[in-house]
Amino acid sequence: MNTSFAEIPEEYKIKELIHQKSYLVSGDLKTWEGETTEVFSTISSTSVYKPTLLGSIPNLGKKEALEALDSACLAYDKGQGLWPTMKVIDRIKCMDTFVKMMKTKRNEIVKLLMWEIGKNLPDSEKEFDRTIEYIYDTIEDYKNMDRDSAKFSKSDGINAHIRRGPLGVVLCLGPYNYPLNETFCLLIPALIMGNTAIFKPAKHGVLLITPLLEAFQKSFPKGVINIVFGRGRTVASPIMETGKVDVLALIGNSVSANALQSIHPKKNRLRLVLGLEAKNPAIVLPDADLDLAIDECIAGTLSFNGQRCTALKVLYVHKDIIEEFNKRFSARVDALKFGNPWEAGVKLTPLPEKEKPAYIQELIDDAINLGAKIINDKGGNITDNYIFPAVMYPVNKEMRLYKEEQFGPIIPILSFTDIEEPLDDMAESNYGQQVSVFGKNTNTLAPLIDTLVNLVCRVNLNSSCQRGPDVYPFTGRKDSAYGTLSVHDALRTFSIRTFVASKDNEYNNEILNELLDKKASNFISTDYIL
């Protein structure tokens, strides 16, 4: 979609380019004088289509990557550093300082979310606000965890003071589709638990970290958080090769995760927190409320153009209702409004990856060659930065569209007669994140749910797949995830139980009482955080 600069609302215009010339290491925003990479938006601001230049970022190399790693290692100092040994209340104060500074950058970040990744205005605002809420919820949950730990347990004559301690140095790599929210769902719990981190933003959604660099610098002790820019192969690989990284926290694809794991020399010591691919299905039973099912399947397949790991990426519809479902679903897809992110009512927006329309076209061509058809009128219409969602039917297992996680606006539909068909497909799949089930008959649903909970980690009844609310576990089976992310679980994922034990006798108890009275230890404490 081509728009002249004059047509863009004043508050969303790109008036000044953001040439990000610094990176954060050892508490310093270091100026980069070397090679840079230009950052473009696929959104055009000219009447004749042309990608919009947004700015540039440093193209750091191995030297700068290892400098950031050394900084994180020094700050952790084998568990002896200021940050890992700091009182819980003091780490919370640092995080509170950060989130207060972050809130002042809302307008800048929302604007960059729209331009960099094409996320519409309501969803961009929601991503920012949800991230703020996630940080506050994490702080509160950490307080609860500390309150529960502010005591001694006794068993078999042994007193134990049990807390959760940090794991070490974390390499954090976030995704482009939620460059703020999902990235911070890794970074925030990792930091607050006392770990130190090296963070490399995703390729798309990188400039929106710029407004937060100063907040990171001013809120945390030097070396606790280090932010580097550049290609993953150039920056992340040298860091992993050293074996000094204790935790790889990555949301992306399994190819990247496997490659980075493979070059770590101490794999038995490497902890993994991974959010990877998914091919979440919807199963529409013959007694489903079609209006509801279609509403939810539209949202599930095409929110943010289907560029979500939680998107519905294949629809199984019972043969008794397939004709009616396809007709109504296709009409609803064609009625969706395409436009720039700030336009009112827009549901479909430009794709951030310039090569994505060509990839979706490949999937369409392959499916057609193997017997599928585009069943919606607008499906496959291509423009400079978009390809209109194609509803494909009937899809079979030989098609790339069935096998690959498409991560874009194309929707495969299969019909089934026996519920064992989609269940067998799910059992054979490499993925196991979520499923959506649409139906009403409890006699049918009960055994179906009992099976599905062992194939995926979340069964959504008459609703589309989603991550939130963030207090619920977010994980997956098989190749979809490793570790659990949520407000509650992430704090545990980035920590380990550790404790001080002593025989219950007068000599030891006197020492413990003195430690508590003098408040000499940050670990041994029964202070209650309000």
pLDDT in tens, 315-330: 999 999 999 999 999 9
If you average pLDDT over every residue of the chain, what do you get?
A: 96
Write out pLDDT tens, residues 358-401.
999 999 999 999 999 999 999 999 999 999 999 999 999 999 99
| Residue bearing the bigger pLDDT, 520 or 320 | 320
Q: What is the mean pLDDT of residues 33-43?
A: 96
> Mind giving me the DSSP string for 329-382?
HHHHHHTSPB--TTSTT--B---SSTTHHHHHHHHHHHHHHTT-EE-STTTT-E
Residue pLDDT, tens place only, 127-152:
999 999 999 999 999 999 999 999 99
Model pLDDT, residue 88:
95
CA distance 132 to 112: 17
Cα gap 226→221, rounded to integer Å: 11
Q: Residue 1: what pLDDT?
A: 59
Query: Is there a contact between 173 and 236 (Cβ–Cβ < 8 Å)?
Result: yes
Q: What is the pLDDT of residue 420?
A: 97
For the whole prediction, is pTM greater than 0.75?
A: yes
CA distance 347 to 99: 30
CA distance 158 to 169: 32
In this prediction, residue 453 carries a pLDDT of 98
Q: How far apart are CA 242 and CA 94, in angstroms?
A: 29
pLDDT band at 52 (very low <50, low <70, confident <90, very high): very high
- 528, two tokens: 């209650």
**What contacts 286, CB < 8 A, 6 or more positions away?**
318, 320, 321, 439
Under 8 Å between Cβ of 435 and 300: no
What percent of the chain is modeled with pLDDT above 90?
Answer: 97
